[in-house]
Structure 1
Amino acid sequence: MSKLLLKHKQGKGRILHVTPENAGWTYVGFDVWKLDKGQSAKGGDKTRETCLVFITGKGRVTVDGKDLGILGERMSPFEGKPWSVYVPAGASWSISAETPLELGVCTAPGTGKLPIRVISPDTLGQETRGKGTNVRYVTNILPETEPAESLLVVEVITPGGHTSSYPPHKHDQDDLPRESLLEETYYHRFNPSQGFGFQRVYTDDRSLDEAMAIEDGDVTLVPKGYHPCAAIHGYDLYYLNVMAGPKRTWKFHNAKEHEWLIAR
């Protein structure tokens, strides 16, 4: 199995745990919590900011003792936009599940200079990217136009039979304004859940070249290189992306041999 693929796990509590240490990189952390009604999750770090993304379900959120109320509304990641919460570095958070809850916990370096804030669905921008079977639908949760210190967070839905993160692009060089260095995680969900797809992570010199079958609940790691993915016919693909690097901007470089596809 590829070292870049973390397979989904059954059970409750924190079921997936990506840190800079276990991923072998510097910036991005990502956890998935699955809770039954009445169960709780908590966290916080003195040196890392957090974006809590309600993938499905509802929960009561407390940050540094402040009750932010019951957040979340959708019961499927394929229905509507998410509720999210920005938690600055140094603050502690907890969530008590009001329904079955699936929570994405996105982290990156921070100093705590920004305030706590709830990110409601009606404030989120959406866009359609691509043409034909390269069409996908993007929801910007924490884009570079919104306040954060390091984190970039986005959701994408790719219809069955379509490609995404395509034509292949990369962002692994600190070479602004041409390209930014960003580590990235993908958290994949499928509808219906028995579906699967494929993702390839590779560099120009093929020193890294991993092709992975992705299933519902898997996480893929993108330390560098191009990283296109594809959903097979009949199964829509959702993924939650977390990106971070030394500078908070998304500037990517397309693979030259495939760039002609953009003009089609």
Structure 2
Amino acid sequence: MLLVRANPQAAGLEPVVQVTPEQAGWTYIGFEVYRLRPGDTLDVDGSGREVCAIVLEGVCDVRAGDERFTEIGGRDSVFDPVPPEAVYCPPGHSLRVEARTRAEVAVASAPADRGASGPRCIRRADIPYEHRGAGQTERFIHHILDEHHPAEKLLLVEVVTPAGNWSSFPPHKHDEDVPGRETYLEETYYYRFDPPHGQALQRVYDKQGLDEVLAPGDRDLVLVPRGYHPVAAIPGFRAYYLNVMAGHQRAWKYQLDPDYAHVAPKDGNIMGRVERAPDRA
């Protein structure tokens, strides 16, 4: 199973899309998305798992353990030119999300022994903005919970790819541990489109026989258990995706497909220009 279709009728406490490690057939990532109505209250069990609730759209209050964080979020759309806001919660703490407005909330989790010390709110000012690629590979990234933010397993970024452009490019993989070169990381892609009736094309492949071409639509979820995984945003539709990664080590190290060496950076680094100021309105 590499593509999980959204339930377009889901609202309130019914997940729009959901995957557990058992369903995915892997070890780490659990992921779900909710479209909350004003006044809805979502409770998340953090037993044995670190959890991050990302307010993709709308405004929520969040209680994490004994901490209460108010007015989290504020975007009208995931395509607004500002980052989301989120709350991180280490294992052993309950987490409650209360919607102040209509809201779309993603919940990412991974097994953890201790997590980072204490629940915390991740505000817009904490989230770096990255301009990656150029021309037909240009895209824009918010580092919600990257290696510079404390956590035990989770890594979270969101990406907006202009219509007609390529993303997750050149193709790269992170499905084995190779010291200093690659780390094993499971990954999910949660998609949104502008206009919303769009789709993307995503290929997931390796050199051992895996080769799938997927066409995720709005609010669908793609699972990447292994292999290379480039994305094409079709002409006429901007593509958004929220990436969750988790694995044995909390480090994003990858290897590029050698077939694309002629279009890859000479140093193999596909990262772009990272800035502290995220607002590009």
Matched-pair contact (CA < 8 Å) for 2:46–2:95: no
Secondary structure of 2:200's aligned partner: strand
Which of these residues, 98, 113, 121, is aligned with residue 118 of structure 1?
Answer: 121
Secondary structure of 1:174's aligned partner: coil
Residue 60 (str. 1) matches residue 61 (str. 2): yes
Partners of 1:73 and 1:244 in 2: CA distance: 27
Residue 164 (str. 1) matches residue 167 (str. 2): yes
Secondary structure of 2:259's aligned partner: helix
Amino acid in the other structure paired with 2:241: Y
Q: Number of paired residues?
A: 261
Partners of 1:101 and 1:44 in 2: CA distance: 20
State the partner residue of 1:182.
185
Alignment map for 1:143-162 (pairs within 5 Å): 143-162=146-165
What is the Cα deviation at residue 259 of structure 1? 2.1
Residue 4 (str. 1) matches residue 2 (str. 2): yes
Partners of 2:257 and 2:76 in 1: CA distance: 37
Matched-pair contact (CA < 8 Å) for 2:17–2:219: no
State the partner residue of 2:71.
70
What is the Cα deviation at residue 65 of structure 1? 4.0
Q: Over residues 216-253 of structure 1, what are the superposed CA-to-partner deviations in whole Å (9 max), with x where a residue is unaligned?
A: 10000000000001101111101000000001100000
Partners of 2:250 and 2:2 in 1: CA distance: 23
Partners of 2:98 and 2:118 in 1: CA distance: 22
What is the Cα deviation at residue 66 of structure 1? 2.9
Cα-Cα RMSD: 1.2
Matched-pair contact (CA < 8 Å) for 2:39–2:98: yes
Alignment map for 1:91-240 (pairs within 5 Å): 91-113=93-115, 114-205=117-208, 207-240=209-242
Question: Structure 1: which 5+ residue stretches go unaligned?
Answer: none
- TM (norm. structure 1) is 0.96
Residue 33 (str. 1) matches residue 34 (str. 2): yes
Residue 44 (str. 1) matches residue 45 (str. 2): yes
State the partner residue of 1:243.
245
Partners of 2:55 and 2:230 in 1: CA distance: 25
Give the ranges of 4+ consecutive aligned residues of structure 1 lying more than 2 Å apart after TM superposition.
Answer: none
Matched-pair contact (CA < 8 Å) for 1:44–1:89: no
Amino acid in the other structure paired with 1:126: Y
What is the Cα deviation at residue 262 of structure 1? 2.1
Matched-pair contact (CA < 8 Å) for 1:90–1:111: no
Matched-pair contact (CA < 8 Å) for 1:139–1:156: yes
Partners of 1:163 and 1:107 in 2: CA distance: 28
Partners of 2:265 and 2:188 in 1: CA distance: 28
Matched-pair contact (CA < 8 Å) for 2:16–2:219: no
State the partner residue of 2:271.
none
Partners of 1:99 and 1:170 in 2: CA distance: 39
Alignment map for 1:10-25 (pairs within 5 Å): 10=8, 11-12=10-11, 13=13, 14-25=15-26
Secondary structure of 1:133's aligned partner: helix
- TM (norm. structure 2) is 0.90
Partners of 2:189 and 2:221 in 1: CA distance: 5
Q: Over residues 36-59 of structure 1, what are the superposed CA-to-partner deviations in whole Å (9 max), with x where a residue is unaligned?
A: 111121102221101111110111
Q: Over residues 143-172 of structure 1, what are the superposed CA-to-partner deviations in whole Å (9 max), with x where a residue is unaligned?
A: 111100000000000000000001100000
